[in-house]
């Protein structure tokens, strides 16, 4: 499947999700450890209005980085436990020249809950990190 056709399908899927109560948001992250298994994915945590604490709402699992046409890509899948079919997507990786184990990536998050404040943790072979210091408004 050529890249233009695949991009069109992904765009169409994101539009369809928005019609059925989902909103797509692009989340930019810096991730360290994609190559050695330290970062196998991330958890998104949403601030609960009821408890005032952050609660897990979605797991995004990473595939292995792959190079296609001179560009490094990462496949990922979102599993939010809400019965929706897991959609597999991919994003280009931008490696830091000073620290090649660190990559910047943009992940589409298909949010079905109300907008709110989110934090991120990553998980991998060494366990799970603490919640991020910064807050995302999604």
pLDDT tens digits, residue range 71-121?
999 999 999 877 666 778 999 999 989 999 999 999 999 888 889 999 999
* 75 contacts 89 by C-beta, under 8 angstroms: yes
Residue entry with tokens 């595939």: 63
Query: What's the pLDDT tens digit per position in 19-65?
Result: 345 788 999 999 999 999 999 999 999 999 999 999 999 999 999 99
Query: What does the alpha-carbon distance between residue 10 and residue 6 come to, in Å, rounded to a whole number?
Result: 6
Q: Give pLDDT, residue 85.
A: 60
What pLDDT is recorded for position 86? 72
Q: Could you tell me the residue ranges of all domains in the chain? A: 3-137
The second-level CATH assignment, the architecture, of 3-137 is: Sandwich (2.60)
pTM: 0.81
């Amino acid at each position: 499947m050529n890249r233009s056709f695949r991009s069109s399908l992904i765009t169409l899927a994101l539009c369809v999700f928005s019609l059925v109560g989902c909103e797509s948001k692009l989340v930019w992250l810096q991730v360290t450890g994609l190559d050695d298994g330290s970062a196998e994915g991330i958890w998104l945590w949403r601030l609960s209005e009821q408890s005032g604490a952050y609660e897990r709402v979605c797991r995004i699992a990473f595939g292995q980085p792959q190079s296609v046409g001179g560009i490094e890509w990462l496949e990922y899948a979102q599993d939010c436990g809400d019965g929706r079919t897991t959609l597999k997507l991919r994003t280009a990786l931008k490696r830091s020249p000073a620290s090649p184990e660190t990559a910047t990536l943009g992940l589409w998050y298909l949010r079905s809950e109300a907008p709110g404040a989110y934090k991120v943790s990553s998980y991998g072979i060494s366990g799970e990190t603490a919640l991020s210091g910064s807050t995302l408004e999604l």
